[in-house]
Amino acid sequence: MIKKSKLLSAVAIATASFMAAPSHADTMNTPDISAMSIMNGLENPWDMAFTKGGDMFVTEKCKGLSVKTSSGSVHALAGMKDSKGYASTFNDLFCSGQAGMMGVALDPNFNKNRRIYVASTSDKYHGSGCKTNFEKCDGNIIMRMEVSKDMKSVSNRVDIVKDIQYKPFESDHPFGGPGAHNGNRLRFGPDGYLWATTGDRHRGVVPQSPKLLGGNVLRIDTDGKAHPGNKPPRGFDKRMYTYGHRNVQGIDFRPSDGRAFTAEHGPWQNDEITALVNGGNGGWDPRPNVGGRGDCPDKYCGYMPNQKEGMLPAKRAQFMPMSDTRFSDLMPPAWNNNGLSQGTGSAAFLKGKNWGYWEGRMAVGIMGIGFGGTPSGMRIDVVDIAKDGKSIKSVIHMPTGLTKRFRGLRLGPDNALYAAVDEGEIYKITASAK
């Protein structure tokens, strides 16, 4: 167990516009934090989902879906191609680069219908598009399965979304391998509908496209059909709740009003936290020959001219803004760091009196890219978002005592925060209010 210091381990962030300074009350009322490893030896654990009784489902990006029951036993349920020891193996599921088995969510009526939803990369629907037309390479799916009552197997797989794009080849960009910017976080909202995030796939036309399911937040029912209240622009796919995103890996719903917020990392500058607006545009537009830009490698300007060393963050942001103000339907972020990206990713709102002064704030995992001059992060930030969702009051580093790449965050039924880290562990982070 790692016990926090009595000192607040994080107060200041480098750039003035990054955050409002923590108040005296913040400093005095920081809860006591403890972190304990509860699973280890995993291979790229990515996401978690919990039953009300405390059973924890876990995805490993290149292996599959498992469950750790409340009694402590672990059962390997659904494996990817070439995975061993799983009750079921699906040979169409594969991992490559940033893609694989990722988001997981339990049906709100899980105790009755036993349904679980998993986002994964699949070659089942590739077709010829993956060889001839990158924009039409459908390689990501959302599956629905049923978990047996003894928690030892899954059955009745149905692919409820089959046409989320996948990047099939290497490109001339940092992090530009197959599977880049794959998104795929799944969460059920307070409305009972499934929300799914998707990435831009390193293709310039994707995030602003009316038909391609990349760079979106989708809101769908348990059969994969659009929520009837979605309001995308005319001619857009009805499953889109918002569009124009880069690579959303964090989404959760504020307990006080149920509003959806996303956490998203930028192209070496301007990580963002955004309050979603139905039909809104995230403002990410990496197409060549727009906004004063010329041609870019592979028709994607998401890193140009960021590949050039020595460019100041402000100049990078001017050339390739995360939230382009040219768009009239832009959703302005509640927060951006206005500096070098540190890999803002997974997110979960804190609930329960055990969190004390932090109850209702958003915990955000920072993956600490540390590339091309980017400062290393590797922490969890606690963000106090204003009631209107348009600004923040403060950002505090959670004193976990851990220096890890925080890939997945999820609040458990016990109001503890669970963290999946790239180093192959899952931590239980508990809080005790002062």
CA 115/CA 96 separation, integer angstroms? 27
- The pLDDT of residue 205 is above 70: yes
Share of the chain above pLDDT 70, in %: 91
For range 383-387, the mean pLDDT:
97
Report the greatest alpha carbon distance in the chain.
60
Three-state SS at 383: strand
Q: Quick one: pLDDT at residue 18?
A: 43
Question: Whole-number mean pLDDT of the chain?
Answer: 90
For range 244-258, the mean pLDDT:
97
What's the pTM? 0.94
CA neighbor of 156 nearest in space, from 167, 148, 166, 164:
148
CA 338/CA 326 separation, integer angstroms? 18
Q: Classify each residue of 253-292 as buried b or exposed e, where b means 16 or more C-beta atoms within 10 Å of its C-beta.
A: bbeeeebbbbbbbbbbbbbbbbbbbebbbbbbbbbbeeee
Three-state SS at 348: strand
Identity of the highest mean pLDDT range in 170-174, 242-246, 288-292, 302-306? 242-246
For range 185-207, the mean pLDDT:
96
CA 51/CA 406 separation, integer angstroms? 22
- The pLDDT of residue 17 is above 70: no
DSSP summary character for residue 427: E
Distances (CA, A) of 276 to 24, 36, 215, 217, 411: 30, 33, 13, 9, 21
CA 44/CA 241 separation, integer angstroms? 29
Note the pLDDT tens digit of each residue in 351-377. Answer: 999 999 999 999 999 998 776 666 678
Q: Quick one: pLDDT at residue 434?
A: 83
Q: Quick one: pLDDT at residue 78?
A: 98
CA neighbor of 232 nearest in space, from 278, 193, 197, 165:
278
Beta-carbon contacts of residue 330 (< 8 Å; ≥ 6 apart): 280, 281, 282, 283, 323, 324
Note the pLDDT tens digit of each residue in 54-102. Answer: 999 999 999 999 999 999 999 999 999 999 999 999 999 999 999 999 9
For 35-39, 216-220, 241-245, 293-297, which range has the lowest pLDDT when averaged over its residues? 293-297
- The pLDDT of residue 5 is above 50: no
Three-state SS at 218: strand
Quick check: 359 and 352 in contact, CB under 8 A? yes
Quick check: 251 and 195 in contact, CB under 8 A? yes
- The pLDDT of residue 4 is above 80: no
Q: pLDDT: is 13 or 368 the higher one?
A: 368
Quick check: 181 and 167 in contact, CB under 8 A? yes
Quickly state the pLDDT bin for 293 (edges 50, 70, 90).
confident
For range 156-165, the mean pLDDT:
97
CA 66/CA 20 separation, integer angstroms? 41
Q: Quick one: pLDDT at residue 11?
A: 31
CA 186/CA 167 separation, integer angstroms? 20
Quick check: 46 and 408 in contact, CB under 8 A? yes
CA 23/CA 251 separation, integer angstroms? 26
Domain map of the chain by residue range? Answer: 2-432
Q: Quick one: pLDDT at residue 316?
A: 78
Cα angle 307, 309, 312; round to 5: 100
- The pLDDT of residue 168 is above 70: yes
Q: pLDDT: is 75 or 267 the higher one?
A: 75
Quickly state the pLDDT bin for 23 (edges 50, 70, 90).
low
Note the pLDDT tens digit of each residue in 115-127. Answer: 999 999 999 998 7
Q: Quick one: pLDDT at residue 338?
A: 76
CA neighbor of 401 nearest in space, from 424, 420, 378:
378
For 166-175, 185-194, 344-353, 392-401, which range has the lowest pLDDT when averaged over its residues? 166-175
For 26-30, 196-200, 211-215, 297-301, which range has the lowest pLDDT when averaged over its residues? 26-30
Note the pLDDT tens digit of each residue in 297-339. Answer: 888 888 765 555 556 777 778 888 999 999 999 999 999 987 7
CA 162/CA 216 separation, integer angstroms? 15
CA 68/CA 74 separation, integer angstroms? 4
Q: pLDDT: is 294 or 148 the higher one?
A: 148
Q: pLDDT: is 5 or 186 the higher one?
A: 186
- The pLDDT of residue 28 is above 90: no
- The pLDDT of residue 134 is above 80: no
Would you say domain 2-432 falls under CATH 2.60.40.10? no
